[in-house]
Amino acid sequence: MLNRRTLLAAAAAAPAAALFARPALAAKPSVFIHGGVAIRGADPVAFFTEGAPVIGSADHALEWEGATWNFASAQNMETFMGNPAAYAPQYGGYCAFALSRGSIATSVPEAWSIVDDKLYLNYSVNVRQVWSEDIPGNIAKADANWPGVLA
């Protein structure tokens, strides 16, 4: 049943829906990068250790999966190197909600969630709110679409 909160959240997410509907003209890279770096420069380990997005530094950077990953400290970089898959965002950092709908969209570090020890990013905080209304269902749908949606 729809209620006012659901309708307002859907309306807030509507501008992003136009991005999801655009057909892909070419295969997309497996990691979303902006300005040459993954997660818009945020340290992927910090989401787990600090409970917040923390912008990393080019002084602590490495290449992985075709992207540059910045870290707030040498220790975080070493932690990531020990098990990158444990800290890298799911779906290459693309929007988890868009993936659940069979599309891809960019993401921002502020729209993050950790579910079952995995990092998920979304297009915006408003889109994350809609995604959060059915996290298990949206993850299952996104998992089914990934990575085929990149083609």
135 class by beta-carbon count within 10 Å (0-12 exposed, 13-18 middle, 19+ buried): middle
Side chain identity, residue 124:
S
> What is the reported pTM?
0.83
Do the domain assignments include residue 141?
yes
Question: Number of structural domains, the chain?
Answer: 1
Domain that holds residue 116: 4-20+27-146
- The DSSP output letter for 2 is -
Helix/strand/coil for 22: coil
3-class secondary structure, 96? helix
Q: pLDDT tens digits for the chain (151 residues)?
A: 444 444 344 445 545 544 444 444 568 999 999 999 999 999 999 999 999 999 999 999 999 999 999 999 999 999 999 999 999 999 999 999 999 999 999 999 999 999 999 999 999 999 999 999 999 999 999 999 999 999 9
Rounded Cα distance, 8 and 3, in Å = 9
Cβ atoms of 108 and 40 within 8 Å: the answer is yes
Residue 151 domain-assigned? no
Is residue 42 domain-resident? yes
